[in-house]
């Protein structure tokens, strides 16, 4: 199979580089400065064993490949907010012997949250979800770092919305030859919703910096507890922290990489790069949506969604809000909801 990595940033670059290292055929898809850097200098992947350069085909879109092959696998690694644009471009792409990519090719959604694969299933017949545990960073155009060792990441795979098949198992076999663990599971959503709960902290980190201060840690716990209450009310299953720890074990240890600081997670990286967008609508916003559907207030996730979007839109510096200020705003948001509910009770509503 040939792997077409749509969005050769942190996650896509790490996956594409490791697949190429293991001898698999890989095409990278990128835009702007990243496209130019990959075209001119190759993909530089900085990992615990050193820095490696992979001279791989790189295109800006399907036109760069002409007709797609019947054995192509599309790996969607763009941020969720960029999903629609990627599907618009790749869904109609022609495949050899007839049909389009949306009709004939498997699409793996290697993204945070749960919305991207749902959007993809409106267009593509064969959609696979991926629960991405892969500490990676976009350092600069052309250079991606992935600090995990001995495994680069753990990528749970499954058919979306549920189940497994031979295609998923073949892809998993290729990934497991490429320094990943890739369990194929019929209940992928359980793993993805657990990852969603952990990703609720992304906005805290993006707005107020590394989650090291005790106040920041306590705030993240409150935000995630709100998420748990929402998932429980919605009847959505998720893996426990104990189950996750049992799977991860000591398979991924972050090692220091020269001149490639980890920095922050995906949302922090979006602010640092000044992209103007952020994934908060599909992380904290997913909890807000479910809360409204099931009658559970979500003031903390509402606040973080709003702040993260404002920071991205206004291109504010990542981590520039003092933790104390964020905690104060969080306390005010919770108090406002409590006051509103008390007022409704007093009025008999």
Q: How distant, in Å, are the alpha carbons of 238, 248, 323 from that of 242?
A: 12, 10, 29
Parallel/antiparallel/unpaired status of strands 58-59 and 25-29:
parallel
Q: What pLDDT does 341 receive? A: 81
d(CA 128, CA 158): 6
CA 266 to chain CA mean position, Å: 7
Q: What pLDDT does 182 receive? A: 98
Residue 346: pLDDT band with limits 50, 70, 90 = low
Q: What is the number of residues in the chain? A: 349
Q: What pLDDT does 343 receive? A: 72
User: Rounded to the nearest 5°, which phi and psi values hold at 299?
Assistant: -60, -35
Residue 313 makes CB contacts below 8 A (sequence gap 6+) with: 276
Average pLDDT of the residues in 64-72: 97
d(CA 101, CA 305): 34
CB 286 within 8 A of CB 115: yes
Q: What pLDDT does 172 receive? A: 98
pLDDT in tens, 241-259: 999 999 999 999 999 887 6
d(CA 72, CA 88): 18
Q: What is the pTM of this model?
A: 0.94
Instruction: Give the least confident one: 33-47, 131-145, 294-308, 329-343.
Output: 329-343
Q: What pLDDT does 258 receive? A: 75
d(CA 135, CA 145): 9
Residue 260: pLDDT band with limits 50, 70, 90 = low
């Amino acid at each position: 199979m040939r792997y077409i990595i749509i969005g050769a940033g942190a996650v896509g670059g790490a996956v594409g580089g490791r697949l190429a290292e293991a001898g698999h055929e890989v095409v990278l898809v990128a835009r702007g400065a990243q496209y130019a850097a990959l075209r001119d200098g190759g993909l530089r992947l900085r990992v615990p064993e050193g820095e490696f350069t992979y001279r791989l085909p790189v295109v800006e879109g399907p036109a760069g490949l002409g007709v797609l092959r019947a054995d192509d696998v599309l790996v969607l690694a763009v941020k969720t907010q960029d999903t629609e644009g990627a599907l618009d471009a790749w869904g109609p792409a022609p495949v050899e012997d007839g049909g389009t990519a949306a009709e004939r090719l498997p699409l793996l959604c290697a993204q945070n949250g749960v919305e991207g694969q749902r959007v993809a299933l409106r267009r593509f017949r064969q959609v696979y979800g991926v629960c991405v545990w892969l500490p990676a960073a976009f350092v600069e155009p052309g250079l991606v770092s992935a600090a995990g060792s001995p495994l680069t990441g753990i990528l749970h795979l499954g058919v979306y919305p549920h189940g497994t098949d031979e295609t998923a198992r073949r892809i998993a076999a290729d990934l497991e030859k490429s320094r990943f663990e890739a369990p194929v599971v019929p209940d992928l959503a359980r793993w993805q919703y657990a990852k969603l709960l952990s990703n609720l902290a992304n906005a805290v980190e993006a707005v107020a910096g590394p989650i090291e201060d005790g106040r920041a840690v306590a705030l993240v716990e409150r935000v995630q507890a709100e998420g748990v209450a929402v998932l429980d009310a919605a009847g959505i299953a998720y893996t426990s922290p104990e189950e996750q720890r049992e799977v991860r074990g000591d398979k991924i240890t972050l090692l220091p990489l020269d001149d490639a600081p980890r920095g922050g997670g995906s949302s922090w990286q979006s602010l640092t790069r000044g992209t103007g967008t952020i994934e908060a609508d599909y992380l904290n916003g997913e909890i807000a949506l479910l809360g409204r559907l099931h009658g559970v207030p979500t003031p903390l996730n509402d606040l973080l969604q709003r702040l993260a979007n404002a920071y991205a839109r206004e291109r504010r510096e990542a981590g520039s809000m003092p933790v104390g200020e964020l905690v104060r705003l969080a306390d005010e948001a919770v108090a406002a909801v409590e006051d509103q509910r008390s007022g409704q009770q007093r009025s008999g509503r």
